[in-house]
Amino acid sequence: MTINYSFQEGQVGSFAIFDMSGRAVTQFVLPQGQQSLTIDQSTLSSGMYYYAFYVNGSLVKSEKMVISK
């Protein structure tokens, strides 16, 4: 799974995936100078999750996603 992103210079970004109970399953720091993050979804079981993008510690976007294998 590939996530595309962009943020302004000097900002710090992160991406997290949560299970339906709200427990963080995985978290990533989004390096400046890159514009995509590849996630190995083999570590995630099939099911429904939430993902969230943060910039400078503030939530920017959160939505549901489904992993189907």
Instruction: Report how far apart the first and last C-alpha atoms of the chain are (Å, whole number).
Output: 12
Confidence of residue 69 (pLDDT cuts 50, 70, 90): confident
CB 35 within 8 A of CB 4: yes
Give residue-wise pLDDT tens across range 14-37: 999 999 999 999 999 998 878 999
* Per-residue confidence band for 10, with pLDDT thresholds at 50, 70 and 90: confident
Across the range 36-44, mean pLDDT stands at: 89
47, 52, 41, 42: which is closest to 17 by C-alpha? 52
User: In the prediction, which pLDDT does 34 show?
Assistant: 81
pTM for the model: 0.85
51 SS3 class: strand
